[in-house]
Amino acid sequence: MSIYQRSIGLTLLVLLFSGCGSDVSTPETNADAPASVDFADLEFSSPPVSHHDDGGRVQVELSSAWNDDGRLIVRAVFSPDDSGFHLYDSELPMTGVMGIGRPTLIEVGDDKGLAEVGALVADKSALTHFDKAINAALSVYPDGPVTLYLPIRFESAPEGPTQLPIQVTYMSCSDQRCNVPVERAAQEITILAPSTTP
């Protein structure tokens, strides 16, 4: 085992047992991002596709709806199993900050037939937490669930039910400990033709 591999392993062990140890946080805002209220009132497919990992301890519910402008909006509701746990900002690097944390993400597993994949939109503003363990700032969502929306535009809209591969990434932490990170877990949701109501 290389020194690098040992270092990564030790970092993960420290993370799992130490938590964030973060100070009081301040909100971050992205003025360029569309507001989540633009998507919240859409009629999303029901029942949603559910994902849960025993180590990650977050329930993820995936659903979709067509927006008036012809885009498909994929919605993911990330809900930590335990109270007092938060999720990391979607803009966090994929490997975290100094190995700590993972972004909360929904991604399209295969972009074949897609004309555009838009920016993620969250229903909560991220907070900046200073982590004493690594002496660095981390961007996290407030404790509890967070909903992400991913706008997608197809080259041509599907004419009937179609399977869309989705990948989810997340990591939940409290001030005392962190759960196992889940990276690009594969899921599939069924999307309907734009004229079809769920």
pLDDT digits (tens, 9 = 90+) for 131-180: 877 888 899 999 999 999 999 999 998 988 999 999 999 999 998 899 99
Nearest CA to 65 out of 183, 169, 147, 168 is that of 147
Q: What is the 3-state secondary structure (H, E, C) of 86-145?
A: EEECCCCCCCCECCECCCCEEEECCCCCEEEECCCEECCCCEEEEECCCCEEEEECCCCC
- As a whole number of Å, the end-to-end CA separation of the chain is 52
Whole-number Å distance between alpha carbons of 172 and 79: 9
pLDDT tens digit string along 104-134? 999 999 888 899 999 999 999 999 988 877 8
CB 84 within 8 A of CB 173: no
Q: pTM of the entire structure? A: 0.83
In the beta sheet, which residues pair with residue 173?
86, 178
Tell me, what's the pLDDT at 42? 93
If one looks up domain 3-191 in CATH, what number appears? 2.60.40.1250
- Give the residue extent of every domain in the chain: 3-191
Tell me, what's the pLDDT at 15? 45
Tell me, what's the pLDDT at 130? 83
Task: pLDDT band for 36, please (50, 70, 90 cuts).
Answer: low
Tell me, what's the pLDDT at 14? 43
Task: pLDDT band for 99, please (50, 70, 90 cuts).
Answer: confident
Share of the chain above pLDDT 70, in %: 79
CB 85 within 8 A of CB 68: no
